[in-house]
């Protein structure tokens, strides 16, 4: 689906990504993880086209990601950010359906899709008329997820979508996300700081540090055969989240 070949990105001369070569598997959930500043969110923003690489090539479904092609390609991607990024002056319904209405969908197309998404995300129907400040943090994230899924995209990109939630709501949404990913079978790329979350949701974990990829695989593989000392140190530092 996405392929990166020696992709680099710099900000004020400092490398945020340093020669990344990577291919994301179609229909699978890949999780980008690593310490703050390792480049994982920068990589996600390159995939959605909010940034362009300084060097290297980035393709989506065999097509180069470029300014000229991004508008159409973005309709094939869903994007969720931390705290949802909802428009506060729009109701949940209007936030979810914003792009569909912009693209000229008829109401008879929108309503059945909205019903499917509300059921999928366990969002109460009576909440659709409320504004973001009238909803809980978990409900706002469900609205953001529905908005990302409204156009039935092929790819779902999530940048720490659960990072600002309290532990109980986060646990509940992790369970729901796992079921949603399995039910939809879409290509999912998720950024998180939480290794336990990465292991629970991801088919593949991509551990990054200082703009480079250190290791790709399952958590058990990283624990049994770390490619370098930092991999073991990173896992040990988070071990209290998922037990010995």
The conformation of residue 156, written as its DSSP 8-state character, comes to E
* Other CB atoms within 10 A of residue 170 CB: 19
Token code pair at residue 167: 């532990």
10 close to 26: Cβ distance less than 8 angstroms: no
Q: Which of helix, strand or coil describes residue 24?
A: coil
By 3-state DSSP, what share of the chain in percent is helix, strand and coil, each rounded to 5?
45, 25, 30
Please give the mean pLDDT across all residues of the chain. Answer: 93
Mean pLDDT of the 30-59 span: 94
Which residue's structure tokens are 């790819």?
155
Q: What is the pLDDT of residue 244?
A: 46
The secondary element (H helix, E strand) that includes residue 81 is strand 77-81
- What distance in Å separates the CA atoms of residue 188 and residue 176, rounded to the nearest whole number? 14
Q: What is the pLDDT of residue 90?
A: 97
Cα→Cα distances 28→2, 112, 175, 200, 205, Å: 12, 27, 17, 13, 11
Q: What is the pLDDT of residue 22?
A: 96
Task: Kindly report, residue by residue over 79-93, the tens digit of the pLDDT.
Answer: 998 877 999 999 999
Q: Classify strands 29-33 and 187-192 as parallel, antiparallel or unpaired.
A: parallel
- What distance in Å separates the CA atoms of residue 163 and residue 194, rounded to the nearest whole number? 9
Residue 239 pLDDT > 80: no
Mean pLDDT of the 101-129 span: 96
Q: What is the pLDDT of residue 66?
A: 80
pLDDT tier for residue 240 given thresholds of 50, 70 and 90? low
What residues does 63 pair with on adjacent strands?
A: 60
Mean pLDDT of the 64-90 span: 87
Mean pLDDT of the 106-122 span: 96
Domain ranges of the chain: 1-31+51-69, 75-193, 217-244
CATH superfamily name and code, 75-193: P-loop containing nucleotide triphosphate hydrolases (3.40.50.300)
Residue 46 pLDDT > 90: yes
The secondary element (H helix, E strand) that includes residue 8 is strand 2-11
Residue 158 pLDDT > 90: yes
Residue 159 pLDDT > 70: yes
Q: What is the pLDDT of residue 166?
A: 85
- What distance in Å separates the CA atoms of residue 1 and residue 43, rounded to the nearest whole number? 15
CA R_g for the chain: 18
Mean pLDDT of the 190-219 span: 95
């Amino acid at each position: 689906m996405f392929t990166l070949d020696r992709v680099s990105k710099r900000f004020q001369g400092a490398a945020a990504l340093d020669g990344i070569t990577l291919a994301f598997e179609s229909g699978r959930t890949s999780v980008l993880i690593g310490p703050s500043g390792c480049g994982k969110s920068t990589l996600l923003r390159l995939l959605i086209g909010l940034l362009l690489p300084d060097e290297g090539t980035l393709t989506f479904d065999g097509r180069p990601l470029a300014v000229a092609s991004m508008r159409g390609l973005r309709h094939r991607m869903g994007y969720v950010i931390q705290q949802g990024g909802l428009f506060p002056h729009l109701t949940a319904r209007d936030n979810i359906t914003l792009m569909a209405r912009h693209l000229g969908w008829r109401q008879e197309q929108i309503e059945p899709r909205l019903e499917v998404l509300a059921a999928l995300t366990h969002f109460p129907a009576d909440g659709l008329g409320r504004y973001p400040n009238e909803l809980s943090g978990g409900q706002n994230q469900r609205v953001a997820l529905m908005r990302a899924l409204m156009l039935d995209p092929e790819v779902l990109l999530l940048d720490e979508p659960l990072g600002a939630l309290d532990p109980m709501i986060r646990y509940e949404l992790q369970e729901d996300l796992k079921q949603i990913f399995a039910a939809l079978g879409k290509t999912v790329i998720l950024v998180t700081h939480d290794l336990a979350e990465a292991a629970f949701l991801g088919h593949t974990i991509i551990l990054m540090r200082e703009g480079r990829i250190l290791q790709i695989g399952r958590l058990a593989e990283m624990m049994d055969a770390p490619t370098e000392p930092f991999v073991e140190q990173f896992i040990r530092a988070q071990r209290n989240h998922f037990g010995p």
